[in-house]
Amino acid sequence: MTETLLEIANIVGTHGLRGDLKARPKSANSDFLMTAKKICLRLPTGEILNLDISRQVLHKGQVLLRLQGYDSIDLAEQLVGGQILLAENLLPDLSDDEYYWGQLEGLQVIDRERGEIGRLQQLISTAAHDTYVVKGVFGEVLIPAVHQFVLDVDLEAGVMRVDLPEGLIAEEQ
């Protein structure tokens, strides 16, 4: 059986000359990245590397990582743009109404009144709350990731049901 890998962060740059990488977590909770000993890194080419972490530090909302074998800026620069993946079974358990981004990405989004809105494409993290970016029949729709609007998530069916207020979607002219 193949383990499910979930994208938990992106490598967005380097920091310093010793090979530290700036990792931007996909959610506000970066604890699992701070305690991980190993990661999978999917490079922009699609290649997946299994790497050991030798150092982790929180820095301005990001995690600075140093990976074994990548201890200079020249080596580390090759990894920028990569996606950090962790096996789902290594991630902390969440409460019933919480999900990892990798579980939600690509879900079909259906509004109570309007029907299908589109597919969940991106997550934007803000200080107030996360925002889902859905692309589909109404173009790009930004949905606050709050219980008031998100009614149900059915991972098995691949569907998120929402109840959006008037004005959130640019209605047809």
Residues 69/83, Cβ–Cβ less than 8 Å:
no
Q: What is the pTM of this model?
A: 0.62
CATH no. of 5-89: 2.40.30.60
Residue tagged 């999917």 (tokens): 42
Q: To which CATH superfamily is domain 103-162 assigned? A: PRC-barrel domain (2.30.30.240)
> What are the structural domain ranges in the chain?
5-89, 103-162
Identify the residue with better confidence: 120 or 89. 120
CB 18 within 8 A of CB 73: yes
Q: What percent of the chain has pLDDT over 90?
A: 47
Tens of pLDDT, residues 38-84: 888 999 898 999 999 998 988 887 889 999 999 899 999 999 999 99
pLDDT for res 32: 72
**Nearest Cα residue to 98 out of 155, 41, 140, 17:** 155
The overall average pLDDT reported for the chain is: 85
